[in-house]
Structure formats: C-alpha cells, structure tokens
Amino acid sequence: MRHCRVLIADDSADIRLLLRLAIEGDAELELIGEAVDGAEAVSLAQALQPDVLLLDLSMPVMDGLEAIPLVRGVAPTTAIIVVSGFLTGETKQKVLGAGAVGFVEKGGDFGELIAYVKEVGIERFGS
C-alpha cells in the first residue's frame, strides 16, 4: 500500500516537531519535507509533489494565504490543509477560496488532525 506523502510548512520549530512526531507515528503517512515559510513551502511542494501540505498561515517571507495559489500552480494535485490559530469565519472563506481543501485549528487534537490528513490524502491517491 502506498503511503500518503505529507509536507509540513510552519515557522514554529515546536509545531513542526509535534506534527512530525504525529505523522511519523502513523504507518500510513510519510513525512517528506518541512518548510519554515511560505516561499520554501512553494519550492518544496514543486520539488516533492506531496499528497498533502499542512500549511500555517502566519509565517515570515510569505504567509500561507499568499502561498496557497502558488502551491496550487506548482503542485496542482496536492491537497492543502491550513493549520492555524487564527481561523475566523472570514479567514476560513479566504483559505478555501484560495484553493485549500480544509483547515484545522492549532492546539486541537492531533489524532483528529492525522485522521483528517489520511482522509484527504486517501481521496487524492486512493487506497
């Protein structure tokens, strides 16, 4: 069975560590890269073509909202899930309008996040 290939983009080393541990703890997921800002996320998405990108909104150089359409352009099959602590109703509409498939709030249950990543990833690459 093929693994769901995941790229993380978050400027917080602590958040990247927590996401990395959660992903590496699941046999169906494979962490293929980590970015520290939106520009690096676009570059890595283009090079690695992940199944799922976990993307923070508030990052230096280029924020997640700016990165979403650029990732869509260079990695059109990648499902973008926004992971942010700043998810107002307006922000949710903006990220979906820009091309993200969904969003989760930081600080939530990592088990639910991993289940969502797998659900979205399986829709993209099949079982």
pLDDT in tens, 53-105: 999 988 888 888 899 999 999 999 999 999 988 777 888 888 888 899 988 88
Range 118-123 average pLDDT: 80
Question: CB of 124 within 8 A of CB of 51?
Answer: yes
Is the pTM above the cut of 0.95? no
